[in-house]
Amino acid sequence: MQTSAAPTRTLWQPLALVLAALMLLVAATADSAFGQRQVHRFDPAQGTLAIKKDGKVKERDVANGLIVRLEKRNGKTRKANKNELVPGADIEDMEVDDGEIEEIDVEQQPSGSSDCSFDTSDQNENMDKSFDCSEDYADESQDCSFDQSGDKEPGDLSKDTSWDCSYEDEDEGLSWDCSYDSSQGSSWDASGGDADGDFSFDCSWESQSDLAGPLFSCAFGAEGISFLCTSEQLGQEFGASLDVGPGIALDPTVDFNEDVVDEDGDADDSDCSGGGGSFDCSFSGDREFGDCEADFSYDESHSAGYRSGDLSGDASVSCSYESGDPDDA
């Protein structure tokens, strides 16, 4: 009996290798025929993962305890974290339960580089700050610089803010460049105060293929005195909003890369009216109430198929407010 067992084992081993090879061939053929799934955008705040396949993007929910594994180039797999869910990462395997992604395996991406420098002053309550970052990853590159300077003394504030960012995706044949500048000043005392400011922004883009519309769509006044420019295709946005507080301030917001800047503000109750380039708003916060006026302009131009385009906007804002409860006024 022992002599007959040995040939059986010898025949089974090559058969297993053939079956394994066939399975790999089928898997490779499936990827070639139906396209490789890739991470398009991971949104940890919303708990969603947008997956790109054959040029189409589908958004799926992810489980709170999502398990991420990284398949390295040497074929070994190790446990990783959600930071590996970067745009363009190839998805090797995925387990879904009750409509939520429970586990996901991604392939190690080509190496990239990131170079950032930061400068923050301890003076003027950290009013002076700047940073510059450049990132290169696979076929994508991005450069951003930010600069803010100002002075703050009891009852008086002045601040200048600017940023400039550029982005290029060689694989998609898409690039853009956007910038923002603002200047503001305010004064106040125990009874209230006044504030004024102005800002401007501009963007340009180029694409090797037709787009469904402008790369960025901008809107004024969606949340009081504010503007917001969004790109559904890229999942990116930037804007500015009026922060109602002692020394009313214009706060820029930028979300070109989720791990770089993420700001949330507390909204105040405001009632705005107007149109055709102007807004009048009355507001009521926890400590003050008052009125603001804003005048703005916006221009946009593009080529056929939105393969290239430009957009720009600017606004000026002036406010006056009183401290206390508006019901006691």
What is residue 12's predicted lDDT score, i.e. its pLDDT?
30
Sign of CA dihedral 79, 82, 86, 87: positive
What is residue 265's predicted lDDT score, i.e. its pLDDT?
42
Provide the residue ranges of all domains of the chain, joining segments of one domain with +. Answer: 35-107, 112-328
Residues of the chain falling short of pLDDT 70: 1-35, 73-74, 109-114, 121-126, 138, 222-224, 244-248, 255-270, 274-276, 285-287, 324-329
Q: What share of residues in the chain are helix, strand, coil (percent, to 5)?
A: 15, 60, 25
The long-range contacts involving 17-21, CB below 8 angstroms and separated by at least 24 positions, are none
What is residue 138's predicted lDDT score, i.e. its pLDDT?
64
What is residue 105's predicted lDDT score, i.e. its pLDDT?
92
Say which residues have a Cβ less than 8 Å from residue 91's Cβ, sequence separation at least 6. 36, 37, 38, 39, 51, 104, 105, 106, 107
Backbone conformation region of residue 313, classed left if phi is above 0, alpha if psi is from -120 to 50, else beta: beta
Provide the Cα torsion 44, 138, 146, 49; round to 10°.
Answer: -10
Cα of 64 vs its chain's centroid, Å:
21
What is residue 328's predicted lDDT score, i.e. its pLDDT?
56
